[in-house]
Amino acid sequence: MIYWSEITNISPVQYYTVQSSGGMLTGPFIGDLALDYASAYSLGELDYHKLDMKRPNYNEIKNFSILWSVAVPENVIKNNIFSVNYMKMMYRNTMLGIDYNGTNLNPAYRVGSYMYKNFYFVQPIRPGNKFYAAVKTDLGIEKLPAALRVGNGKTGLLKIKYKSVNMEDLNNIYINLFTIKNIFNKDFNVDNLHIYYVLNHYVMAGPVTGGVMHELYKL
């Protein structure tokens, strides 16, 4: 079954996806991989804090109960334009406590005022933006999570509404070519589709129909 979802971020969403002069900014989308893992954690399908892991095992996504398309902003649905409303540019520095002991180096190293010099720009997605995505699952609509946490530090809170639709009536779905090629091991003809490259593991293509997504996400 494929459902259509409307996603509203009710707190800022920050990722380091778009390189900019003096900073790493948030891309105008919410990735399928992020939503897949957020859903799996929400349903208790994964354990938190795998301290021995150095990289994700993306093959495990095939076993998740919920699989997402890329969540694209409202402007993509209306005008085929990837754009969202951002918060103002702000500085991040190592005094925010995200890194080791408030710095990005072990305190055994004598670095003087180094911790005060590591500043760079960030720009989260402003709360209130709407995104749309398709959801492939065998679960009933009442069992789908109504809220998910995403973003760096999982500080971005998403409110989600789902609705049942005819699969072939969906024609604004954007898929991640990395997911299709490297997780589901399928080739996909992208002729006549919009391609939006962000990172090696986020190469978006669309729009496609619900039927296309259903076939691509088959094991």
Mean pLDDT of 151-179: 92
The rounded distance, in Å, linking the Cα atoms of 114 and 120 is 14
Write down the pLDDT at residue 169. 86
Give the start-to-end residue ranges of the domains of the chain: 2-88+123-216
C-alpha of 2 from chain center: 19
Write down the pLDDT at residue 132. 97
Q: What is the pTM of this model?
A: 0.85
Least confident of 50-54, 88-92, 182-186, 197-201: 50-54
Q: How far apart are the first and last CA of the chain?
A: 14
Alpha-carbon Rg for the chain, nearest whole angstrom, is 19
Q: 166 in helix, strand or coil?
A: coil
Q: For residues 34 and 219, which has the higher predicted lDDT (pLDDT)?
A: 34
Write down the pLDDT at residue 70. 97
pLDDT tens for 57-114 read 899 999 999 999 999 999 888 887 888 999 988 877 655 444 545 445 555 655 555 5
Write down the pLDDT at residue 97. 45
In the block, which residue shows the tokens 């334009």? 81
Q: 142 in helix, strand or coil?
A: helix
What share of the chain has pLDDT > 70, as a percent? 85
Q: CA separation (Å) from 2 to 6, 61, 85, 138, 169?
A: 13, 17, 28, 8, 11
Write down the pLDDT at residue 147. 97
Instruction: Decide: 14 and 152 in contact? Cβ < 8 Å.
Output: yes
Q: Which residue from 7, 203, 9 is spatially nearest to 125, judged by alpha carbons?
A: 9
In the DSSP assignment, the letter for residue 22 is: T
Helix or strand (DSSP H, E) at 213: helix 210-216
Write down the pLDDT at residue 93. 64
Structure tokens at 9: 């971020």
Count of CA atoms in the C-beta half-sphere (13 A) of 52 = 1
What share of the chain has pLDDT > 90, as a percent? 55
pLDDT tens for 8-65 read 999 999 988 887 776 778 999 999 999 999 999 999 998 766 667 777 889 999 999 9
Write down the pLDDT at residue 181. 94
DSSP string, 72-121: EEHHHHHHS----PBPPPEEEEGGGSSSGGGSSS-TTS--TTGGGT-EEE
Write down the pLDDT at residue 107. 58
Q: Cα angle at 30 between 27 and 34, to 5 degrees?
A: 120
Write down the pLDDT at residue 115. 52
Reported as a pLDDT band with limits 50, 70 and 90, residue 140 is very high
